[in-house]
Amino acid sequence: MPRRKRIAVLISGRGSNLGALLRHDLAGEVVLVGSNRADAGGLALATDAGIATFTLSHRDFATREAFDAALVARLNLAAVDLVVLAGFMRILTPVFTEAFAGRLINIHPSLLPAFPGLDTHARALAEGVKLHGCTVHFVTPELDRGPIIAQAAVQVEDDDTPATLAARVLVQEHQILPWAVRLFCEDRLRIEGLRVRVLPALA
């Protein structure tokens, strides 16, 4: 029987997507949760689940590259197969993205390539889009432009605010992120250029 893949999750806040991962069968094991913020609520969630945690403050490093190198070293110590960015609010440099190329995924609150970066829900409302949503993608050096694994859409209502829209999108995030992680752990994802092909499950 193949070895279950070891997963690290990086967070900066409350860890709601981390909670979703822990509630699902991922065909792999979350073995480490890290944050750049010591007050991130998701760290307690991981501790309660018996998962090792660490904090690495970006403020302790002179450059982004130095922080990323330290982060790579910490994750390599845990021998992780997959790194999941679940609300990790840092722009990562090639020092990090190249170290985990093909093994690094992110959940983003928009239907990429629309609305990369921050404030996605307010921007979607300002643009008057009728559909909004979320995307799970492989991370590359270019911000929010990596090959897309999965997306989920929600209807934008006339009376939506950024908060109400964000809440509905978050429900979808909690569905597609665990699904994408499971596909990775089952070796069912193939990157072909900018596209991701999902292979059928083995009988």
- pLDDT of 1 > 60? The answer is no
Average pLDDT, integer, range 43-65: 96
pLDDT tens per residue across span 158-180: 999 999 999 999 999 999 999 99
Catalytic residue, candidates 58, 108, 137, 174: 108
**Band of the pLDDT at 3, cuts 50, 70, 90?**
confident
Q: Residue 89 has what pLDDT? A: 93
Contact 105, 180 (CB under 8 A): yes
pLDDT of amino acid 61: 96
125-161 pLDDT, tens digit per residue, is: 999 999 999 999 999 999 899 999 999 999 999 999 9
pLDDT of residue 203: 62
Domains and CATH numbers, the chain: 5-189 (3.40.50.170)
At 202 the pLDDT is 78
Q: Are 176 and 106 in contact (CB under 8 A)?
A: no
174 is catalytic: no
pLDDT, tens digit, 9 for 90 and up, residues 96-120: 999 999 999 999 999 999 999 999 9
